[in-house]
Amino acid sequence: MQTVRTGNGPRSFSASGLEARQLPFSEIPVIDFSAMYGDDPEARQRVGEEVRKACTEVGFFYARGHGVPDEVIDATFSAAHRFFDLPLEVKKAVDIDRSPNMRGYTPMLGENTNEEGQGDMHEGFDLALEVPADDPDVQAGVFGYGPNQWPEQLPGFKPALLAYHAAMLDFGRRIFAAFALALELEEDFFEGYLNKPMAHMRVLSYPSQSGAIDDAQIGIGAHSDYECFTILRTDEVPALQVLNSAGEWIQALPIPGCFIVNVGDLMARWTNGYFASTLHRAINASGRQRYSIPFFFGPDSQSLIEVLPSCQNPDWPPQYPPITAGDYIRSRFDHTYFHRQKDESQTPEGNTP
């Protein structure tokens, strides 16, 4: 067995190397979200029930009927290609280590999601809500808020990524509504936590690895995501592998027109482990460059995450202490990014990365 340390404790899986089984799509359900844009409460409730089954049994699902225009998605992939094709010195001008709020360029091997690894084989560009420097939360030093960094030599890059970010905010709210229904809460329960959400987005570029691949240095090491959930779009190149309940890696192949959604550690804490965050990794051995766009959706930075009353009882009391969303996410970033480990004092007191 191998073990990955996550923000909610260690997780184990079979030491099966880098191979993953190819299984039917039924292993990871496909959920149609079109009803979440309609006026039929019974149809929306059915979506919530499908989401509950997926989040308790798998932790991942494909989402179709999401309402995100193809042209918004295509423009973002095109912008990503153009950015990663820039010379390294141009990309380094917006290096993420210049930003206290994790905005900008991450070079190859600049991130290490699995502490047993030696760095992840991808480049990234990160952004989140456009929050100006004179915003009261920025002035107060609230984690997760601040201006984005943008490359100067790339016309059209900023509007393409911001249009995608806005579309994900809208779709993400529909997912939160489905989560509320799945948890037998009022459909708008989570809206009060989404006034200024920590909606972190990345565009990623993975080189293909050939020959013998060192399992300590793959596209992205085995990990669980940090926020409430992730909305992922990939190109047609397969690389994503998901750990199933039997401890086996299975391939999550791209399905045209679908996003891949997975539960993150913060939602697992909020639901007392009822919704399972799932280990996953990416290994690109396709012979081609791979691009993906993960969008990590969570509540306002200062939201206090306490186990929901509906997810605890005398036989299953809260398994996690309360923590603000921002403190939790900061602790995970400090643990993952090499440039944030230069100063151990960045980790919030009382939080174990």
Give the pLDDT confidence of 64-118 residue by residue, as tens digits.
999 999 999 999 999 999 999 999 999 999 999 998 888 999 999 888 887 778 8
**Torsion sign, CA atoms 224, 11, 107, 77:** negative
Q: Is there a contact between 47 and 32 (Cβ–Cβ < 8 Å)?
A: yes
Q: How far apart are CA 249 and CA 241, in angstroms?
A: 6
CATH code for the part of the protein at 2-346 = 2.60.120.330
pLDDT given for residue 276 in this prediction? 84
pLDDT given for residue 211 in this prediction? 82
Nearest to 224 by CA among 260, 273, 198, 262: 262
Q: Is there a contact between 285 and 274 (Cβ–Cβ < 8 Å)?
A: no
pLDDT by position in tens, the chain (length 353): 343 445 554 443 334 444 544 444 457 899 999 999 999 999 999 999 999 999 988 889 999 999 999 999 999 999 999 999 999 999 999 999 998 888 999 999 888 887 778 889 999 999 999 999 999 999 999 999 999 999 998 999 999 999 999 999 999 999 999 999 999 999 999 999 999 999 999 999 999 998 888 888 999 999 999 999 999 999 999 999 998 777 788 899 999 999 999 999 999 999 999 998 889 999 999 999 999 999 999 999 999 999 999 899 999 999 999 999 999 998 887 766 555 555 444 433 333 22
User: Residue 38, Cβ neighbours under 10 Å: how many?
Assistant: 11
Q: Is there a contact between 97 and 174 (Cβ–Cβ < 8 Å)?
A: no
Q: Is there a contact between 283 and 17 (Cβ–Cβ < 8 Å)?
A: no
pLDDT given for residue 348 in this prediction? 34
pLDDT given for residue 11 in this prediction? 41
Q: How far apart are CA 17 and CA 320, in angstroms?
A: 32
Q: Is there a contact between 179 and 190 (Cβ–Cβ < 8 Å)?
A: yes
Tens of pLDDT, residue by residue over 209-235, are: 988 888 889 999 999 999 999 999 999
Beta-sheet strands, E only, within the chain? 2-6, 9-13, 30-32, 60-64, 104-106, 123-127, 200-206, 220-223, 229-234, 240-243, 249-251, 259-263, 280-282, 290-297, 304-305, 323-324
Nearest to 113 by CA among 317, 335, 319, 320: 335
pLDDT given for residue 336 in this prediction? 60
